[in-house]
Amino acid sequence: MKNRKPNNLHIRLYGDKILREVAKPVIEFTDDVKDFIADLVFTMYEKDGVGLAAPQVGRSLRIFVVDPFWFNEDGKKNPLVLVNPEFKEFKGDVDSEEGCLSLPKIFESVQRAESVIIEALNEKGKKVHYEADGLFARALQHEFDHLDGILFIDKVPKLKRIFLKKKLHDLQRTTDENGRNIGEMPL
């Protein structure tokens, strides 16, 4: 891997078909994969995200990054990279509001497990294990869903989803077939 400046990647928006696909596992930690991980981390911070998954930037890979604490810790960055993650345990249920970089201006309450245990590989290909609760657990579940083509709005109760239809339609109209924002979403 060459010493290079990371790229700020384009966030794919609702309506882009890659957001609905099941991502492929990472087989080998090539220089391309390592560079991509650096770009993913850089983009997450540039977009003020808590997490970001590979499909959200147009790559069908089972990779996501999270850093749910950097907002609370005076900007101290401690990104966690999860490659080919697998949940081992879920405990409890809790409702909390979520948003998503691929669904700008849309926020809804979603029920998720209160605590989780997850295993994955890190950016160096080493096995990692996290026991998480609170925002950390929520971020892990949210980003993992992206790897299976699931968006947080899919977990919103059906009645509430009906009220989201106009916002989703407006967002989809601002997105071309490549997930590029081609217009402003009405307020």
Per-residue buried b or exposed e for 16-50, using 16+ beta carbons within 10 Å of the residue's own CB: bebbeeebeebeebeeebeebbbbbbbbbbeeebb
Nearest residue to 88 via CA among 65, 70, 113 = 113
User: Cα–Cα distance between 130 and 133 in angstroms, integer?
Assistant: 10
Catalytic residue among 98, 108, 123, 143: 143
Which two tokens mark 18?
């890659």
* DSSP β-bridge partners for residue 127: 121
123 is catalytic: no
**Looking at the DSSP assignment, which residues form a beta bridge with residue 96?**
110
Catalytic machinery residues: 143
